[in-house]
């Protein structure tokens, strides 16, 4: 992709969102569209909104406005479905501090929904994939497994009731985690979505010119994920992610194929992967515990050349 020569570009392609300086204000811009992963339109709309604003939070910013992007077959869905979808989305955007100010719809045989989100970030609060430094601890919020769980539910491999944990996680905003990261002095962050934990960790490693060490036993997984990944019952995206990341990842002999697939599972509205100096961990812990928000310390950043080590 050709690089823009405009001096206002602070962060270009390759990070969670673009950042542009306009008259002293740092604007954060991102867009994200997904296909349905749950049947209820209200819930799906809310998940879409949480997923889209997450990129702004991952940059340490605050989302302000959103434009909806909707593709659907008008013969298959009536107005009530779209109203419920938009209600779920606007409620979640309001929770995130953003307003829906417009959008665009198209005729499409495959239902899809998402948002272009605009926000702002303070210069000293900006988190980038390139912000990791050797000595940082590696923090992951939420648990892994939304791709595996939703895929298994669709195929009837697990009960529909098992979806609740994944849905609750996808609906949880990364707002508090982002505020905790900025307040605690984090240098880098990314939200873990379609490329799985390994893919997004690798982007941090490459961008920061350092190695990331991940302790497999410290990575939190949702219920059923371990057994499903061990059986190879994972979405195609997990296998594709693993194939790509394996070239730059050293796995300990104890790491099974199931472990590798779980770490590669594509997430929807996943948690933040944060690189934080050890001195900031106590403050981060206080903020997260006060808000009753989940997180785990899953590894560290070491000197290197942009690779992953999973042990």
Identify the structural domains of the chain with CATH numbers, from first to last. 9-124 (3.30.1330.10), 127-310 (3.90.650.10)
The pair of three-digit structure tokens given for residue 153, joined into one six-digit string: 């539910």
CA distance readout (Å), 232 to 199, 241, 260, 286: 19, 14, 10, 38
For the chain, 311 residues long, give each residue's pLDDT as a single digit of tens. 567 777 888 888 887 788 889 888 999 999 999 999 999 999 999 999 999 999 999 999 999 999 999 998 887 888 899 999 999 999 999 999 999 999 999 999 899 999 999 999 999 999 999 999 999 999 999 999 999 999 999 888 888 888 999 999 999 999 999 999 999 999 899 999 999 999 999 999 999 999 999 999 999 999 999 999 999 889 999 999 999 999 999 999 999 999 999 999 999 999 999 999 999 999 999 999 999 999 999 999 999 999 999 99
pTM confidence score = 0.93
165/109 Cα distance (integer angstroms):
30
The pair of three-digit structure tokens given for residue 113, joined into one six-digit string: 């929904």
The pair of three-digit structure tokens given for residue 130, joined into one six-digit string: 């390139």
Start-to-end Cα distance in the chain: 34
**Contact call for residues 276 and 186 (beta carbons, < 8 A):** yes
């Amino acid at each position: 992709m050709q690089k823009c020569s405009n001096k206002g570009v602070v962060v270009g392609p390759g990070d969670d969102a673009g950042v542009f300086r306009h008259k002293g204000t740092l604007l954060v811009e991102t867009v994200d569209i997904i296909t349905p992963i749950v049947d209820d339109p209200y819930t799906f709309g809310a998940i879409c909104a949480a997923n889209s604003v997450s990129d702004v939070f991952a940059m340490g910013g605050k989302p302000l406005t959103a434009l909806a992007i909707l593709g659907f077959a008008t013969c298959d869905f009536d107005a009530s479905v779209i109203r419920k979808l938009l209600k779920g989305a606007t409620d979640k955007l309001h929770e995130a501090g953003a307003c829906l100010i417009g959008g665009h719809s198209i005729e499409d045989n495959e239902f899809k929904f998402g948002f272009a989100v605009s926000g702002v970030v303070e210069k000293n609060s900006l988190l980038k994939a390139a912000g990791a430094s050797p000595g940082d601890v590696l923090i992951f919020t939420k648990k892994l497994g939304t791709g595996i769980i939703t895929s298994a539910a669709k195929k009837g491999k697990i009960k529909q009731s098992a979806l609740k944990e994944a849905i609750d996680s996808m609906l949880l905003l990364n707002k508090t985690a982002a505020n905790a990261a900025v307040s605690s002095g984090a240098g880098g962050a990314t939200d873990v979505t379609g490329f799985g934990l390994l893919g997004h960790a690798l982007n941090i490693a490459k961008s920061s010119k350092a190695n990331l060490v991940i302790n497999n036993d410290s990575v939190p997984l949702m219920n059923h994920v371990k057994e499903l990944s061990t059986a190879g019952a994972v979405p195609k995206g997990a296998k594709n992610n693993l194939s790509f990341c394996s070239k730059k990842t050293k796995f300990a002999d104890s790491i099974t194929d199931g472990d590798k697939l779980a770490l590669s599972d594509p997430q929807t509205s996943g948690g933040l992967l944060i690189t934080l100096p050890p001195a900031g961990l106590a403050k981060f812990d206080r903020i997260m515990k006060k808000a009753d928000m989940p997180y785990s310390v899953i590894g560290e950043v070491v000197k290197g050349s942009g690779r992953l080590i999973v042990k």
